[in-house]
A and B are shown apart, each in its own frame.
Chain A
Amino acid sequence: MSRSRNGIGAALAALVLAASPAASERLNIGRVATPEEIKGWDIDVRPDGQGLPVGKGTAALGETIFQERCASCHGEFGEGAGRWPELAGGAGTLKSDSPVKTVGSYWPYVSTVFDFVHRAMPFGAAQTLTPDETYSVTAYLLHLNDILKDQDFEVNERNLATIRLPNEKNFVMDDRETAENEFWTAKPCMTNCLPKAATITGRARILDVTPEKASTSPPVQ
C-alpha cells in the first residue's frame, strides 16, 4: 500500500473522529442547574435522614391534620377505607395467610413515610403539606402503630432517622439466582413429565371476577 493512500486513510480517520467525539467528552449541551432550582425539587429523604427539611411536629398535632386531610381514605385510625391502603395495625400477620402490610407491620424505614407523605400525599393534593405538617403526620402514623407512645414527643430533622421500625431486619436482597437456582435447568423434561394425566385443580370461573365487558364491545369514539 502506498504512502499517499495511508495518508488519505489517516486524514479520513481524523475526520471521523472529529465528527463523533469520544464517549466521555462533554458536548456542552444544556446549562448548569442553579442551587435555587435544585432546592425547589430536591425533596427526597433517605433512611439516614439525608434530605430531611428543617422542621418539627408531634402526633397530637398530626391527629388533627390526619383527620382533615387523610382519614377519608385511610380511616380515622389508619385502618383504611374501602380499597384504600391500611396504614396501621397488622403486627404479627406477615407469616399468616392474610398479611396486613402497614407502616408498623411491614415498612422498614420511617424516612419512607416522611418522603412519601411529603411528595405524594394527600392523594390529589401532592406537596401541599408543609415540612412541619409532614413531621406531625409522620409522628401520628408512628403513634397509631404504637411506635411513638408519647403523642407530644417532638419529631424533627435531627431525630426522625433514629426512630426504627420493627420489620427493618426482615428485608433481604434479591436472592432468586441462588434460592431458586433449580429453575436454571436449561434442558427441561419433554416426555412423560407427569406421573399420570394432568387433572384440573382450579378454575377462574368459580370466582367469576372477570369484568363483564371483557369481550363485549364498548364504543371507542
Chain B
Amino acid sequence: MSEPKQRPDPSGRTSRRSFLRSGLALGGAVGAGTLAGRAAAGTPDAKNLPPNVPEWSQSLGDGVVSRPYGRPSKFEADVIRRDVEWLTASRQSSVSFTPLHQLEGIITPNGLGFERHHGGIAEIDPTEHRLMIHGLVEKPLMLTLEDLKRFPRVNRIAFLECAANSGMEWKGAQLNGCQFTHGMIHCVMYTGVPLKRLLEEAGLKTNAKWLLPEGADASGMTRSVPIEKALDDAIVAYAMNGEALYPEHGYPLRLVLPGWQGNMWVKWLRRIKVGDEPWHTREETSKYTALLPDGQARRFTWAMDAKSVITNPSPQAPIHHKGFTVLSGLAWSGRGAIKGVDISLDGGRNWRAARLDGPVLDKALTRFYYEFDWNGDPLLLQSRAIDETGYVQPTKAALRQHRGLNSIYHNNGIQTWHVLPSGEIENVEVA
C-alpha cells in the first residue's frame, strides 16, 4: 500500500481513502495493494504478544453489571448502519443500510437492521399505544399491548427487504459496498400474535377482502393488504430476536408479512381497517410501483423475488491473503425457501454449487459458503440464487430487458464483484 501510515483498523478493513490512494482509482497498476498493506496497517503492541503475558491476563476487568445492557467490543465500533446522504432530502424520510459485510449467520442484530422511516422514529410509551381493528368486522376492537400479549403467540424467522433495495443500481454499478447495494435487508426472529387470530377475535364480515394497516408515526404509513395474506402468515409482532422491538423497527408493534416488500410491514402499528377494496394509498401508487418502458406501471408487486449477494469478499471487505479463501454470502426468496446458490468466479460463464450452511428456512436469509484457493488472479465473482418455486435469480441484463431502467424497485439482478490482484474489490457490471 502506498500509504502505510493509515490509522489502525481493528477489523482489518482498508479504508476507502486508502483504496483510492492505491492507484486503483486512477486506473493504474495496483501492485502490492492490500495484501502487503495489511501488515503495516494494524501494529499490535509487542508487550501483549507471546511470549509476553498481556495486561488483561494479569489485572482484573470490569465486574458484572458494569454493562447492564451489553454492547459489542469497542474494537467493533465500525460495525454500524450507514446512510448515503445524497440519496434523500431529509434524514426523517430516509434509509440507513445494514452492514452485511460485517455480519455472520442469518440473524441480524437488533441494533444493525437497516432503517427506513417516512416521518422519523416515533418514540411511543407502550401504555399510550393502542391497536384499533375496525371496519368490516362484527366487533370493533381496542387492544392494549397487555391485551395483545394474552393472545396465543408464534415465533418466526423472516427476512425483511425494502422493495428499493439495490434500486440505485438499475442504471449501472454505482456504490462500492454490499452495505449500500444490498443493505436494505435484515432477518430476525419475530414474536407476536398471528393476525388471523386477531381478525377472528374481531369477527370478519363476509365481504372483508382488504386490510389497511396504519402506523402511528408522523407519516401515518398505510398500505392495502389482501385478506388472503392476512389469514395466511401475517403476524402482529411486539418482539424481535427475543426482546421488545426497537423504536427504529416500530416499537411497540409492527406488522410482519413474510416474503413481501418491507414497506408493507407497517411499523408503530396503531390501526387495522377492514374493507372490501384496496385504498390505493400514496405508498402503493406514487411509490412502490414499477414504471415499465411502455409507460405502464405495475402495482401491488408484493413478493420479493429470489436474490443473493456475496458479502465477503466485497468492496468493504477485501481479500487479505492468497491461498485458501472463504467466500460467504446471503440468499433469500419471498416466494419460499432457497433451494440452492451457484457461484461464478468468471463473471457468469461457469458456475458451481455453493454450500448452504445453518438453517434453510422459508422466506428467511440463508447463508452460503464457497471455499477456494485464490492465486492472486483477477476474478469476477457472482452468486445466483434458486428458490423452491424454480425461480432463478436473473442477470441484470435480463431484468432490464423486461423492465427497462426506471422501475426503481425489485432489482434482484446478479451482482458482480471484481477482485483485483491486490485483493481489493470493486462493484462492476459485466457482459
Contact = CB atoms under 8 A, between A and B. Distances in A.
A199 B346 CA distance: 9
A154 interface: no
Nearest to A208: B25
A68 to B, nearest CB: 19
A193 B350 contact: yes
A106 B297 contact: yes
Interface in B271-311: 271, 273, 275, 277, 279-282, 285-286, 289, 291, 293-303, 305
Contacts of B165: none
A29 B351 CA distance: 55
A79 to B, nearest CB: 14
Contact of A191 (B173, B282, B350, B426): B350
Interface of B: 7, 9, 13-17, 19, 24-25, 77-78, 80, 82-86, 88-90, 92-93, 118-119, 132-134, 139-144, 147, 150-152, 172-177, 179-180, 196-197, 200-201, 203, 212, 214, 218-220, 222, 270-271, 273, 275, 277, 279-282, 285-286, 289, 291, 293-303, 305, 315-316, 342, 346-352, 380, 384, 386, 389-392, 394, 398, 402, 405-406, 418, 426-431
Main SS class of interface, A: loop
B91 to A, nearest CB: 12
Interface in A15-56: 20, 23-27, 29-34, 37-38, 41-48
A25 B197 CA distance: 9
B200 A200 contact: no
13 contacts: A25-B200, A31-B141, A84-B89, A107-B285, A108-B285, A115-B222, A123-B90, A123-B92, A126-B218, A171-B297, A200-B380, A203-B426, A215-B177
A30 B147 contact: yes
A85 to B, nearest CB: 8
Main SS class of interface, B: loop
A186 B390 contact: yes
B151 A216 contact: no
A33 B298 contact: no
B348 to A, nearest CB: 6
Contacts of B85: 211
A66 interface: no
Contact of B176 (A120, A170, A204): A204
Interface stretch (A132-140, A144-152, A174-182): A174-182
A198 B291 CA distance: 30
B280 A112 contact: yes
A220 interface: yes
A215 B391 contact: no
Contact of A201 (B83, B84, B429): B429
A124 interface: yes
B280 A46 contact: yes
A1 interface: no
Contact of B291 (A27, A48, A101): A101
